[in-house]
Structure 1
């Protein structure tokens, strides 16, 4: 029997997130997510007159492919999928799986080559730039384990987070977007964190359920050479299959000049991927009221109410600061009291303290007003 919540989620994805219409071609990537949600999505796409294309991915098999992958093979793989992506109007990526660390023992150079030769041409250059797309996680026992919750409790949490009233959230984000578009200087303060940068002239973009589910952030980018100071990220981050903790970055004129973590060598290997990996491509403020703690999954963690994330690597086309990289590593700093608190200042005005907005035009983004 199909869980009715899956039907609601599929309806929201197809109708609210990517607005599938008659004749739209929709690529559906299904990674370790079972049959229910893809089936609901396929039916919903057909109902709207669209044309679904299903691609089933098994991470364990993908790992076997990557172990022996050559540059020529990765280029051929990318060309095949890039050519197909060129024909698509929409994309839905469902990411499940039974082991978040499946790729952790692949050599760094293999993952870097994969990102450069496959990720950039297929996803950065085509999917992100030329389709209406949405990506979501899928609740699995593995994710429940990461979150420290029972499978049933995590599923309830997942559907609360993913099926909230995104239109209400979208409306409440408008004053923050307007404020960020008027702002020059930003200062972030927290434990072992004092960071300044400019966002002048770079658009602020609201993430209100159109591209990621769960959603709930407003992002922009720092002026590339304006970042100075230090930031210590107090939530874990799984990147290339490794769980990083306490990633501390020191900046001078936009560049990461020192990086430490629980494995500083691995962290610096990522920052040495290319020149752009040591510069920042995104600054974002998280506001999802149901996401209140880190679970080790970035699609959730970057939306934590009371958080910010600061992202070394490539910028987005709609909030460009000129930084290009094969890397886009979202690193989260929570500023709620449980995480030690913190402050966000815009042009010397305190706008958020200890995770709560304190100026009247932003009250609507505090958790009790979004539920």
Structure 2
């Protein structure tokens, strides 16, 4: 990625997504291939007066951990992690694995055990976000591994990311601010509705969102962004949903996932490939069989499935449902060690709100 694009990328993150202020304690978590962006963010955040800590993650160590750790070690939570969650004002996660399949050989049950061990820490982290006591942004820096995973050249992937983030525009920060205002109108409309029905190929799903909040995802927590989401009333989800794209969990792919819900709980699950992974995740805990999130994606600059949920859940013309933990700001109360987003194509589908058709063939059809 060209230096001018990296500078613009960092500026949006520091000024808009993170809104870094003097005295903020900022922790940057990253991978080695993303260091060019880290350096530019580091410089700009220092100029804002922030105090910085950088954690560089080594993916080979993560694989070794899951392959060789005992059950006791899988349950261990480092006191440094506890300190981080309680101390830092802001976290910027810049993803950039050198090998997107580095976890392919790891037993799914061991991953589920680790997720269960981190449940309380993750709950505390999410609660601080809900209380506006913590700023978080997750983003991606292009590299060859990610480009190959998406079926693109590196140059093509860089162009894809720049378009998704509006970085090819003169003033992306202003564009994201305007984007936020438009999505706020969608959220305000949806907040007035109670019962929703989602219809697409292999999908006829109903849920209630009465008393819940529709959240505007506008580039502040994820970058790029582009969705509105809520937490369905936990026992209200009924019907079937078929996910058009593979579900990817820590690099493991599950193809053609089909779920049947009764009174909020998955009572039947099937998949064309990777069913054992799906079953393992569903059995993580009681909350793993319930929907913690439902979202409508709105970023029409993203139209290609890349096997990377940061982008895929934002594909304009799709919806996604997350099994597991609710996001507290939505009003959802489901508890689980997992939060697994799965994407359903709606470009030949419909969404009804209180029996009114509001969305068809991938777009809202009403004026806000």
TM-score range, shorter chain: over 0.9
Deviations 1:264-284 (A, max 9, x none): 222111101000000000010
Q: Distance in 1 between matches of 2:74 and 2:27?
A: 20
Residue number in structure 2 paired with 1:284: 295
Q: Distance in 2 between matches of 1:226 and 1:159?
A: 39
User: Given that residues 237 and 297 in structure 1 are in contact (C-alpha distance below 8 angstroms), is that contact kept between their aligned partners in structure 2?
Assistant: no
Counting only pairs closer than 5 Å after superposition, residues 206-225 of structure 1 correspond to structure 2 as 206-225=216-235
2:137 is the counterpart of 1:126: no
Residue number in structure 2 paired with 1:82: 82
Residue number in structure 2 paired with 1:322: 333
Residue number in structure 1 paired with 2:146: 143
2:284 is the counterpart of 1:273: yes
* Cα drift, residue 75 of structure 1: 4.9
Residue number in structure 1 paired with 2:42: 42
Q: So what's the TM-score if we normalise by structure 1?
A: 0.92
User: Given that residues 78 and 121 in structure 1 are in contact (C-alpha distance below 8 angstroms), is that contact kept between their aligned partners in structure 2?
Assistant: no
- Find 1:346's aligned residue among 337, 341, 353: 353
Residue number in structure 1 paired with 2:180: 170
User: Given that residues 85 and 127 in structure 1 are in contact (C-alpha distance below 8 angstroms), is that contact kept between their aligned partners in structure 2?
Assistant: no
2:27 alignment partner, SS class: strand
Give the unaligned 5+ runs of structure 2: none
Deviations 1:144-175 (A, max 9, x none): 12222211011011112123521121111122
1:360 alignment partner, SS class: coil
User: Given that residues 28 and 93 in structure 1 are in contact (C-alpha distance below 8 angstroms), is that contact kept between their aligned partners in structure 2?
Assistant: yes
1:318 alignment partner, SS class: helix
Q: So what's the TM-score if we normalise by structure 2?
A: 0.93
Q: Distance in 2 between matches of 1:128 and 1:99?
A: 32
Counting only pairs closer than 5 Å after superposition, residues 170-189 of structure 1 correspond to structure 2 as 170-189=180-199
2:8 alignment partner, SS class: helix
**CA 1:257–1:190 in structure 2 vs 1: closer, same or farther (change >3 Å)?**
same
* Cα drift, residue 246 of structure 1: 0.9
1:333 alignment partner, SS class: strand
User: Given that residues 223 and 321 in structure 1 are in contact (C-alpha distance below 8 angstroms), is that contact kept between their aligned partners in structure 2?
Assistant: yes
**CA 1:147–1:124 in structure 2 vs 1: closer, same or farther (change >3 Å)?**
same
Residue number in structure 2 paired with 1:365: none
Q: Distance in 1 between matches of 2:51 and 2:250?
A: 33
1:109 alignment partner, SS class: helix
* Cα drift, residue 123 of structure 1: 3.9
What value does the CA root-mean-square deviation take over the aligned residues? 1.6
* Cα drift, residue 70 of structure 1: 3.2
User: Given that residues 32 and 95 in structure 1 are in contact (C-alpha distance below 8 angstroms), is that contact kept between their aligned partners in structure 2?
Assistant: no
Residue number in structure 2 paired with 1:369: none
Residue number in structure 1 paired with 2:362: 355
* Cα drift, residue 85 of structure 1: 2.6
User: Given that residues 216 and 286 in structure 1 are in contact (C-alpha distance below 8 angstroms), is that contact kept between their aligned partners in structure 2?
Assistant: yes
Q: Distance in 1 between matches of 2:105 and 2:330?
A: 34
User: Given that residues 96 and 139 in structure 1 are in contact (C-alpha distance below 8 angstroms), is that contact kept between their aligned partners in structure 2?
Assistant: yes
1:167 alignment partner, SS class: helix
**CA 1:76–1:278 in structure 2 vs 1: closer, same or farther (change >3 Å)?**
closer
Residue number in structure 2 paired with 1:33: 33
Residue number in structure 2 paired with 1:198: 208
2:33 alignment partner, SS class: coil
Aligned residues: 356
Residue number in structure 1 paired with 2:244: 234
Q: Distance in 2 between matches of 1:269 and 1:103?
A: 15
Deviations 1:107-132 (A, max 9, x none): 122211221223x3444422662420
* Cα drift, residue 71 of structure 1: 4.5
Q: Distance in 2 between matches of 1:246 and 1:311?
A: 15
